[in-house]
Structure 1
Amino acid sequence: MSAVNEKAKDAFQRLLAYSRPYWWRIAVAALGSLGVGAMDGALAYLVEPVLRKIFSGKETGIFVLLPIGIIVLYALRGVCRYTNDFFIRSAGQLAVQDVRNDLYQKNMGLSLGYFFHNETGILMSRVISDVAIMQEGVASVITGLFRDGISAVSLLCVIFYRDWKLALISFVVIPLTVIPAQKIGKRIKGLARHGQEKMGDLASILQETYSGIKVVKAFGLETREVERFRRSNEEFYYFIRKNIKYEGLSAPIMEFIISFGVAAVIWVGGSSVMQGTRSASEFFSFITAMVLVFTPVKRLIASYNNLQRSVGAAERVFEVMDEEPEIVDLPGSGDLGRAKGEVEFRDVHFKYDDEYVLQGVNLMARRGEVIALVGPSGGGKTTLVSLITRFYDPTSGSVLLDGVDIRQRTVKSLLEQIALVDQETILFNDTIANNIRYGKIDATDAEVEAAARAAFAHEFILELPEGYETNIGDRGVRLSGGQRQRLCIARAILKNAPILILDEATSALDTESEQMVQQALNNLMHNRTTFVIAHRLSTITHADRIVVLEKGTVAEMGSHQALLENDGLYSRLHGMQFKA
């Protein structure tokens, strides 16, 4: 239990730390809170002398000015309240904006393996939904501490000044509210955390179905997906319903406990008025202050519930921010500069969890060589090239670039040496020019066009409504598969890196497009070390060496002709494809 409390305390402290840069906003809000609290205290304090003068002294002039005084008092109170609300909420928004920026930056810095082990929807939920709950908590807590806290303190001062004995009677029950408040607050925190997890599940379903809507429609599975979403939504409602129940119980329980104090005050104070030991105006002033003070007290309790919900969300956010990336720059890592392009795998083993994907791979790619990787699915081809980019590090063994272990170089400088064209055409909801510029952010329009021409994409780009400034939609949905692939190739051409990785780079192309792009790829591969993953063996007959991977080991290696004559696995795969 203590570990849980420490975790919550740490999350809360870190949450408040994000508010420190905006201390001046909080200070202005505090002044506004001071004004609100002072007005509440002044109102309660002035009730007794005003009533005494009106009804005892028969001073009608004060009676005439009283309505005007009340209007002015509440106008000033309104200005102070607005000042408090505006500056405290804007400070909270800025603080949580920083949290969201840091969280996204942290996500971008985590290793690829992290994203394979966590659903996209859940990660999205933490950045959007959890941070929004944190924002509500920051604003609520700071508002509660200043405005409601100051109001409560000023009114308490009036109460104790008027009659400390009655004050003690009225507030002897306050400590009794702490126990249910804590229990309800902890329950709300746990439910908020589980509720956010279910919100993450909902986001995952949305992300999957929207991105895969073509498959859903093609197989007529709309009803199945709707039912899956309905079940997940019902589970989310289950936690929210409980959260509503406990939040709804909070105020009635507090009011019921407080009512004992109010009843005792009325009984004791009313009796003293009837006995003549206390004036009616004094008692009415005390009752006014007591009733007023319970409002900020109740709001403070509500703020505590919001705090618990916020801390639950903050714990989920800070879990991600505390995640350590698997791939980091080692101490003393240096920049590569422009690499020559010699890549060596030296006794490389790699495993996912407990299953080995690569075992004892030894391979040398000299500068300018084209190395083709072929073999059955699951043989480790994509994993092997992923080690070059340090998406993963070998379990044992090493990958060397120009004779130096790539772990002795910074990840940033390593990735500058590599251009990747993946089998999955990843494009962004942006213009064609900006998608190509992913290869070189500061590229000129002329460089972008040259890369597009080399990828045989220039002609179809000019046919689009706005040419290079045409927005291609989410994941390039407005383009054909071949067009998307050619843009990815143009992006790689623009990067002009010494090492090129082509993972099924022509798999999405029709015959005509493949012929055009293959010519562009042949030009691109000239004088570059190239790793080509291919299932269609007809596309890699020109490779300097073909490496056949089977179950994570190198089964064969050699030229196309030599492997055919060897009558091994490559020859059998080749025969099956051409027979088909």
Structure 2
Amino acid sequence: MNNSTATTYRRVYRYSKPYLGRIFLALAASLLVAGTDVSLAKLVQPLMDKIIVAQNKALVYVVPVVVIGLAFLKGASRYVQEYFIKTAGQLSVQDIRNDLYEHTMSLSMGYFSRDSTGNLMSRILNDVGILQRSAADVLVDGVRESFTLVGLTALAFYNDWKLASIAFLVLPLAVVPGSFIGRKIKLNTRRGQNTIGNLTRLLQETLSGIKVIKAFGTEQREMENFRQENLRFYHFMRKVLKYDSAAAPVVEILSSFGVAAVFWYGIHRVLSGAMTQGELFSFIAAIFMMYTPIKRLTRVSNNIQRAVGAAERVFEVLDVVPEICDSPQAMDMGRVSGGITFDGVGFAYDKEPVIREFSLKIAPGEVVALVGPSGGGKSTLVGMLSRFYDPQQGTIYIDGLDIRQVSLASLKHNIALVDQETFLFNDSIRNNIRYGRPEATDAEVKEAARQAYADDFIRELPGDYENTIGDRGARLSGGQRQRICIARAILRDAPILLLDEATSALDTESEAMVQKALGNLMKNRTTIVVAHRLSTIMHADKIVVLENGKIQEIGRHTDLLKGEGLYRKLYEMQFK
């Protein structure tokens, strides 16, 4: 066993520790299940020698009672064993899934930009699902069959150690092919799960972008992509099934050599008078019953390899260290007045810098617009202020506090974001508006909607504020979705407001309505506006013109138009 696999076992065991009580109870029941199997094998000898050979009719009536009694004991014990071991496995895997989801929520935006959502969903759902199924099979069959094998092995050696040695002579030969098969199953399970991640990504992308697919008539292309990826998954799973199917026949063929030797040697001993017929049949019954758990344990071993392959993918995510987290001395910044300072800030996503030596002071209550060509770093600055990313050079201060030295919770509490991606949850309008402040009253929700110019259209909907708006708010228009997002930000009541292209995807009529809503939202708040439409930021207190991550100009709209700089060129391009 390599170090990686051993570490995976230890980590899975740590999740099982809280449920050791259930596991020990199941182990006790497993001993009873194994004991009944051993007892049945042992009873073959008196059945043959004392009843059939000796013709003892008085004992004939005892046989049904013993058989039924053992069956009741085995059935009750098996129920206790399976119930408690399976629930222990389910609870352990449930804890793994919860930890995986919670850890995913703690990861920075940088991680999500590098890894696909579909792959992450596959690890949370499919890989943990394999763990969940394997936990039940491995724990139930593995524990029960192990005890049964130990008991029957002990009985075989107790009855006749010479015959038992012959029977077990071939078992070491099964280790080599068993180990090879296990490694192949683990490898192909991992590859198959990677492919399932790609399938989940394709599914997520196609369902999210179904409007684009329908508009361009590319259904056949997407179906072919899915079909090809699904075929790749089948190829890996076919290899898993091939090796899994080969395991039992290999053990059975090897076992047949031991059984043949036992029959040959045992019959010779009976004929020579060295052992009775009952002893031989009891031994053979134990051997035949023993090979059944061996074959089942081979299947359990294959399931373990599947589970290890899936667990390694799960723990890969759990081992990702969040890039953005609270420092050990992080303080609660309370409610801020909204003064913001960028001091020599620099940032690069890869090697190419996006922001270079950016320095800017924003007074509390000031409205600052960031404009410039695409790729100039405007949205990145907003992301760094929200601590989606940390600057690689320089420092960002709010009210004189380095935002890396304050708690993330208190920082987020002081910031409200209205993004160009108007994301709404498949929930009621009321719950979407108070998403950032769950304790808000219904009256506060309606007041926020009124200020966002959303109350009128909400009341026209069936069920008004209780209306469920569909996946990503699909039942609403773009302007309606944006106004609900603005209502959400108004209800948040944060002193700092970030507007990242909040009106870029709207028509003129919707934009006018949203601009009114934004006017209400921006009152008495420090506001940073990222905009391409210069008509929306003409009244900003300060306009910062960015190009290639550097400040080219700063000033008010009228002052910048008097110059010959980049802002005037952008203005003339838009309004011509």
What residue number does 2:250 align with? 253
What residue number does 1:218 align with? 215
Where in structure 2 are the equivalents of 1:206-355 lying within 5 Å?
A: 206-355=203-352
**Which of 78, 81, 92 pairs up with 2:78?**
81
Distance 1:156 1:436 in 2: 67
Displacement, 1:81?
1.4
What residue number does 1:524 align with? 521
**Which of 44, 47, 51 pairs up with 2:48?**
51
**Which of 25, 31, 34 pairs up with 1:34?**
31
**Which of 531, 543, 558 pairs up with 2:540?**
543
**Which of 20, 32, 35 pairs up with 2:17?**
20
What residue number does 1:177 align with? 174
Any conservation in 1 of the 2:48–2:277 contact (CA below 8 Å)?
no
Distance 1:145 1:185 in 2: 15
After superposition, what is the alpha-carbon deviation per residue over 1:193-228, rounded to whole angstroms, capped at 9, x for unaligned?
111000000000000000100000000000000000
RMSD, aligned α-carbons: 1.2
Distance 1:49 1:157 in 2: 18
Distance 2:261 2:54 in 1: 31
Residue type of the partner of 1:389? S
Where in structure 2 are the equivalents of 1:36-185 lying within 5 Å?
A: 36-185=33-182
What residue number does 2:402 align with? 405
- Confirm whether residue 421 of structure 1 aligns to residue 432 of structure 2: no
Displacement, 1:146?
2.2
Any conservation in 2 of the 1:121–1:204 contact (CA below 8 Å)?
yes
Displacement, 1:145?
4.1
What residue number does 1:371 align with? 368
Displacement, 1:297?
1.5
After superposition, what is the alpha-carbon deviation per residue over 1:160-204, rounded to whole angstroms, capped at 9, x for unaligned?
111111011101111121111111111111111111000000000
After superposition, what is the alpha-carbon deviation per residue over 1:121-148, rounded to whole angstroms, capped at 9, x for unaligned?
1000000110111123322332244211
After superposition, what is the alpha-carbon deviation per residue over 1:47-76, rounded to whole angstroms, capped at 9, x for unaligned?
101221212321223324423432332232
Distance 2:526 2:229 in 1: 49
Any conservation in 2 of the 1:423–1:507 contact (CA below 8 Å)?
yes
Where in structure 2 are the equivalents of 1:554-569 lying within 5 Å?
A: 554-569=551-566
What residue number does 1:457 align with? 454
Distance 2:328 2:22 in 1: 41
Distance 1:374 1:193 in 2: 47
**Which of 476, 487, 492 pairs up with 2:489?**
492
Displacement, 1:573?
1.0
What residue number does 2:575 align with? 578
Any conservation in 2 of the 1:85–1:143 contact (CA below 8 Å)?
yes
Any conservation in 1 of the 2:368–2:542 contact (CA below 8 Å)?
yes
After superposition, what is the alpha-carbon deviation per residue over 1:91-150, rounded to whole angstroms, capped at 9, x for unaligned?
111110110000000000000100000001100000011011112332233224421111
After superposition, what is the alpha-carbon deviation per residue over 1:239-281, rounded to whole angstroms, capped at 9, x for unaligned?
0000011111111111111111111101100111222222111
Any conservation in 1 of the 2:483–2:517 contact (CA below 8 Å)?
no
Distance 1:17 1:294 in 2: 32
- What secondary structure does 2:544 align onto? strand
- What secondary structure does 1:438 align onto? coil
What residue number does 1:189 align with? 186
TM-score, normalised to structure 2's length? 0.98
Any conservation in 2 of the 1:16–1:138 contact (CA below 8 Å)?
no
- What secondary structure does 1:548 align onto? strand
Residue type of the partner of 1:56? V
Distance 2:461 2:60 in 1: 79
Any conservation in 2 of the 1:15–1:138 contact (CA below 8 Å)?
no
Displacement, 1:513?
3.0
Distance 1:233 1:367 in 2: 55
Any conservation in 1 of the 2:338–2:525 contact (CA below 8 Å)?
yes
> Which sits farther off after the overlay, 418-427 or 136-145?
136-145
Percent of paired sites with the same residue = 55
Residue type of the partner of 2:554? M
Distance 1:334 1:20 in 2: 35
Displacement, 1:538?
0.6
**Unmatched segments (≥5 aa) in structure 2:** none
- What secondary structure does 1:501 align onto? strand
Residue type of the partner of 2:561? L
Count of matched residue pairs: 576
> Which sits farther off after the overlay, 20-29 or 355-364?
20-29
What residue number does 1:11 align with? 8
Any conservation in 1 of the 2:26–2:85 contact (CA below 8 Å)?
yes
- What secondary structure does 2:434 align onto? helix
What residue number does 2:357 align with? 360
TM-score, normalised to structure 1's length? 0.97
- What secondary structure does 1:332 align onto? coil
Any conservation in 2 of the 1:136–1:306 contact (CA below 8 Å)?
no
Residue type of the partner of 2:203? L
Residue type of the partner of 1:255? E
**Unmatched segments (≥5 aa) in structure 1:** none
> Which sits farther off after the overlay, 486-495 or 248-257?
248-257
Where in structure 2 are the equivalents of 1:470-485 lying within 5 Å?
A: 470-485=467-482
Any conservation in 2 of the 1:457–1:486 contact (CA below 8 Å)?
yes
After superposition, what is the alpha-carbon deviation per residue over 1:467-494, rounded to whole angstroms, capped at 9, x for unaligned?
1111111111111111111110001000
Residue type of the partner of 1:150? F
> Which sits farther off after the overlay, 403-412 or 545-554?
403-412
- What secondary structure does 2:390 align onto? coil
Change (3 A) 1:16 1:140: farther
Distance 2:71 2:117 in 1: 50
Any conservation in 1 of the 2:496–2:526 contact (CA below 8 Å)?
yes
Distance 1:510 1:76 in 2: 75
Distance 1:483 1:62 in 2: 86
Distance 1:108 1:38 in 2: 48
Distance 1:465 1:21 in 2: 48
